Copies of this chain bind each other. A is one copy, B any other.
Amino acid sequence: MMIGEVAEKSGFSVHTLRYYEKIGLLPPSHRDSGGRRSFDDDVLRWLEFLGRLKDLGMPIRDRVLYARMRAEGDSTIEARRNLLQTYRDELAVRVASLTETLEVLDAKIASYDTTGSPSTEPRYDQDTIHP
């Protein structure tokens, strides 16, 4: 697989993939005779996982740290577990908070709807009440 195909399948841009390799998120890739990167399918699963780590808010330096430890092998399993555990716990908190935000938004949208419909009814800006 050349880099363009990986980009298309993973959703990361070609530029980003090269950048990821440069900073160590991807292992140094094999090259074909012409010096072009040649990836195998594994990289797609790894990129999908990296995408999840990114989406949950893990900063790139910790993704790099994780990637480096992964490349080092079994001796780093404990540290990797701990790193993931930390972000997992943080994520659980964030999911709870975002779920609450979802409720807040639904309430607010509902209040806008009530306020908005009948223009003969008294209007009030819910923003002044909640906030």
The residues of A with any CB-CB pair to B shorter than 8 Å are: 42, 45-46, 48-49, 52, 55-56, 70, 73-74, 77-78, 80-81, 84-85, 87-88, 91-92, 94-95, 97-99, 101-102, 104-106, 108-109, 112-113, 115-116, 123, 125, 127-128, 130-131
Contacts and interface: CB of A to CB of B under 8 A. Distances in A.
B101 A52 contact: yes
Nearest to A100: B52
Instruction: Tell me how many chains of this kind the complex includes.
Output: 2
A17 to B, nearest CB: 15
| Interface secondary structure of A, over-half rule | helix
A128 B106 CA distance: 42
Nearest to A112: B81
